[in-house]
Structure formats: structure tokens, C-alpha cells
Amino acid sequence: MGYKIGNIQIDNILSLAPMAGVTNIAYRKMCKKYGAGVVTTEMISDKGIFYNDKKTKMLGMIDDFEHPVGIQIFGGDLETLIFAAKWVDEETNADFIDINMGCPVLKVLKSNAGSKYLLDVDRIYKTVDSIVKNVKKPVTVKIRIGYDHNSINAIEVCNAIIKANASAIAIHGRTKSDLYSGEVNYQIIKEIKEQHPNFPIIANGNIDSPQKAKQVLDYTKCDGLMIGRASYGNPFIFKQINHYLKYNELLDDLKIADRINILLDYAKDLIFYKGELMAMKELRGQAGWFIKNCPNSSKIRAQLSSINTFDDLKNILNLTIFEN
């Protein structure tokens, strides 16, 4: 098992999906620690890079522990997208540049970016081709299978991306209009892999258990699997999937106390990079993931949604362990 992104050897086939507002540097390191093979930053605005916005550029900060790691960029204007790609290429220690052509969020679509690309295959080719020709690092692309169910065109899109000399494609098996619900179309991912047996294809969408991971891998014959929302509050899923693929046996889920300890370690790391107040603001929306299925979880989540300090977080979590 394994594949290459350009000249970068990938031996661990599990990737952490780039997720806006989630895959910060501390989150990526946490998932890497528990078995993610490849990680990618949350999407970074080409305009933010072009106008030298410090907060935007901070999103591209990478720790040596993360490699192999990619920086994902998005934008609807070719000139500034190329500028952003060259910045990643020349000014960061990322291993590859990922182009977001799948985000279904309205704000991104309004900027003519994300899934909006899926409406114009020629534009996709021109964009990827132009970026590849302007950088030295490998270029990967994240897509969905189509803009809606009347325009499922992932085969044509992938043909264009491969023709433009990208190095890998991650395919989310839903359309833009599906957002994150409904059935995932693994059939079309399988067909694309069959047509391009020597090109790295990573399957994404609803891979939420070791058994599902093996099922998708066996069915699509893809080179890699990308895990997104299933990692929320449970980075241990990467270790579980890796173990199951290797030994065909299931590791037990973590106990609540173990998940809370992971959260506390994650919080400390996030504070190191972002400062206490900013870290706690981010964790207001994330901390609740780690106490999923815990008794009184809705009450605890409500308390976590207003934390301001690490002590606030620790006191709520210590009480949670005591009560459970």
C-alpha cells in the first residue's frame, strides 16, 4: 500500500480532510499523533495572501511534526490564485499545494471559487495547468462529484485535472447541493480510479468507522482515504482504521476520560500557537465533540460553549469525569 504525491512517498494512506475552522495546526498535530498519514490546512484565501493579511498567512504555519502536509488555497480569480500558490511554493515548508474546488459554502461560491469550478471543466483545466506551470511543489485538487444531481461530471473534471498535470485528486462523493448529507456516490469514484489506475485518487465522504474505511477502499480501489467529520472529538479513529486495515481486528473506542485528556492536550497546544483567549474561542465550538455520547452531554456542551480560560475548560471537564 502507498502512493506518491509528486515525488513525496505516502506510506500511510489515511488523510485528514482540510476543514475550515477546524484543521488548525494543533488539530492537525493531534490527528497526526493518532495516525493520520497526510494532513492539510484549512482553506486559505488567495486574496488574504495577495493583500498580505497576517491572520490569513498564519493559517499556513506548519510544524515539522506534520509532514507530509499540504496547504489548501481557494479563490475565483486566476491571477491571485497563482500568486497564492507561488507564496505556498516559495515561502512555506508545505510539501504540496491543494486547490479547493469542492467547498459548497455560499460565501465561497459567491467568490466564484470552491464548487463553482465544477460548472466549467475548461476553467478547471486552465486553472490547474496555470498553477502547475508556476510552482515547483506538487499540486493536488479537492473536488466533489458535481455541482448538483443534474450535473454530475466528476469523470470529465478528473480527466481535465490529470491532463493539467496535477499530482493527486481527493473526491468527495457528494454534490455541492448535497452539502454533507445524503448518500455518498462511491460508484463514480470507483469508475474514475478504474480509468486512471496509475494516478493517485483519494476517496472522501462518510468514512466514519474502520469497517466503512475497508469497505470503501476495497470497493473503489482508491490509493487513499480522507477522513473529515469522523475525526471530530475522536482523532483515535485514524489509529482504529490503520489497525483494522492491517490486522482485521477492531480496537475498542476510547473511554470518556481518555477523550477528555486528548482534548486537554489539544487545548494546551492550541494555546501555545494562538494564545489562551483565541484558543478558547475556537474550542467553544469544538470541545463538545469530545464528550459525545457522555451522559448529560447537552448540558456539558452548553457550559463549554462559553469558556474563556483553560481553567474554565479544565473545571468543566474534571466535573464531567467525576460524574461519569
Are 23 and 140 in the same domain?
yes
CA distance linking residue 173 with residue 180, whole number of Å: 10
Look at the pTM and tell me if it is higher than 0.85: yes
Give the pLDDT score at 323.
Answer: 52
158 part of the active site = no
Last residue of a domain, one of 228, 247, 266: 247
User: Pick the catalytic residue: 103, 158, 222, 294?
Assistant: 103
Are 14 and 123 in the same domain?
yes
Last residue of a domain, one of 223, 247, 271: 247
Are 225 and 293 in the same domain?
no
Are 207 and 289 in the same domain?
no
Are 211 and 271 in the same domain?
no
98 phi and psi, to 5 degrees?
Answer: -110, 135
Are 121 and 169 in the same domain?
yes
**Strand 224-227 to 201-204 pairing:** parallel
CA distance linking residue 168 with residue 97, whole number of Å: 10
Which CATH number fits the domain that encloses residue 150? Answer: 3.20.20.70
- Residue 289 is part of which domain span? 256-323
Last residue of a domain, one of 193, 214, 247: 247
Residue 125 DSSP SS3: helix
Q: CA–CA distance from 55 to each of 20, 59, 61 (Å)? A: 14, 7, 10
Is the CA virtual torsion 187, 20, 122, 195 positive or negative?
A: negative
**What are the residues facing 175 on neighbouring strands?**
146
Alpha helix positions (H), the chain: 25-33, 46-50, 54-58, 78-91, 106-110, 121-134, 154-163, 186-195, 210-220, 236-247, 256-274, 276-286, 297-304, 310-323
Q: CA–CA distance from 272 to each of 27, 68, 259, 277 (Å)? A: 12, 22, 20, 11
Are 214 and 266 in the same domain?
no
Give the pLDDT score at 324.
Answer: 47
Count of structural domains, the chain = 2
What are the respective helix, strand and coil percentages of the chain, to the nearest 5?
Answer: 50, 15, 35
Are 207 and 150 in the same domain?
yes
Q: DSSP character for 287?
A: G
CA distance linking residue 80 with residue 50, whole number of Å: 6
User: Would you give per-residue pLDDT tens digits along the chain (324 residues)?
Assistant: 799 999 999 999 999 999 999 999 999 999 999 999 999 999 999 999 999 999 999 999 999 999 999 999 999 999 999 999 999 999 999 999 999 999 999 999 999 999 999 999 999 999 999 999 999 999 999 999 999 999 999 999 999 999 999 999 999 999 999 989 889 999 999 999 999 999 999 999 999 999 999 999 999 999 999 999 999 999 999 999 999 999 999 999 999 999 999 999 999 999 999 999 999 999 999 999 999 888 888 889 999 999 999 999 999 988 665 454
285 phi and psi, to 5 degrees?
Answer: -90, -15
Grid cell locating 317: 471537564
CA distance linking residue 88 with residue 152, whole number of Å: 31
Are 96 and 214 in the same domain?
yes
Whether the bond between 235 and the residue before it is cis, its omega within 30 degrees of 0, is no
In angstroms, how far is CA 115 from the centroid of its own chain?
16
**What are the residues facing 168 on neighbouring strands?**
140
Are 224 and 262 in the same domain?
no
Which CATH number fits the domain that encloses residue 274? Answer: 1.10.1200
Are 129 and 156 in the same domain?
yes
CA angle centred on 239, ends 95 and 256, rounded to 5°: 120
Are 131 and 149 in the same domain?
yes
CA distance linking residue 241 with residue 136, whole number of Å: 33
Nearest in space to 98 (alpha carbons), one of 133, 65, 139, 56:
139
Give the pLDDT score at 88.
Answer: 98
